[in-house]
Structure 1
């Protein structure tokens, strides 16, 4: 299997409501792909379906044999009263050695925090610890669902820089959901624009020029997209040098 994860004609329902309709998607080794869309567009549902946490109503999801996934969820609530240190958290659910745990913390820029209670971490530190935990599985792909939610602008920029460094060091693909449209240009090889179905997908520059993108987000980031230069604008296989845009008139209720 060439791609790490492939979705074909994927639809997902929550009760009678169709949240995702006829999604075709694939991500290859080493790519950084960002999923964008308005609130309620099905972004988190797509992520959960790709990793097997949401059942498909129609279509299928295929994952490469033996695929190792490092997952950072959108929200992870940990009771502040639990006496849980960073080091113990990194050994849930599977125990890891002190050496591996410290190496993961060092890689994500929070070395030396192993003895600190999880409840005493800042938002940025907690996100880096979550990323360290995801890296402990030696992932073929990192899947990040709005990993910078709640971080300030400097913290957000630093986290995305870290993601690019991790990709460069490990070769892992990265699939992330983001509302940070200004970051999508510099941090992504491809963009998937979602609104219950795939509106557009392709390089950031070409997606930004698509009428479906403009209808959802306006022209606020168009100037930034116009400045976008990326080595990966060319050379991807499978038609990634263009934006595939859907003109389907689907109307969905979203949750």
Structure 2
């Protein structure tokens, strides 16, 4: 004859007395343990990133790329939403800036809540924002908005490359996947600590995502060349 198992919990609770005491003891241990002994929820501290959109205005006010009246809001919304969705361990805030004065104000405001890095997206060509942000020394990912900011992006990136700016990485791609991959360098730089070569990290990621050359073999081509006299006769 089978023994009937004794119910030691309440009618709505599946815990036995032994399991209840074990759970209570674990809770007491967590409350008394030094801070940092157990990671909260299994997750570490978030990586804090500010996205800065360099442009004249949300709606293009005058003749500039890509066209008069262009609405940049969907572009900014898509980028911000994509990054937030793909990086639950990051905390993003976004803002806009027209030039170096506004960029400097952003850095001053962030002194109260320091950021681990910056994403600067060049939406219009000639808004000089990234220079000030990269000058902070923080890891800075410079992003091209193709056909809108490409002129400035190319000129400014060339200047950074000539100066060998170590804290600046860059990405120019129509694929959001490439932007997402480049943003992973922020966490790597944070783990490496001050002095890490963020630009080299981004370059490595960018190059690893660049397709290699295809089949470069060529077939022989032996054209029949006319002489000058034959060419004149024809």
Task: State the TM bucket, normalised to the shorter chain.
Answer: 0.3 to 0.5
Structure with the bigger percentage of strand: 1
TM-score norm. by structure 2 comes to 0.34
Structure with the bigger percentage of helix: 2
Specify the structure having the higher radius of gyration (Cα): 2
- Which has the bigger relative contact order, CA under 8 A and spacing at least 6? 1
TM-score norm. by structure 1 comes to 0.32
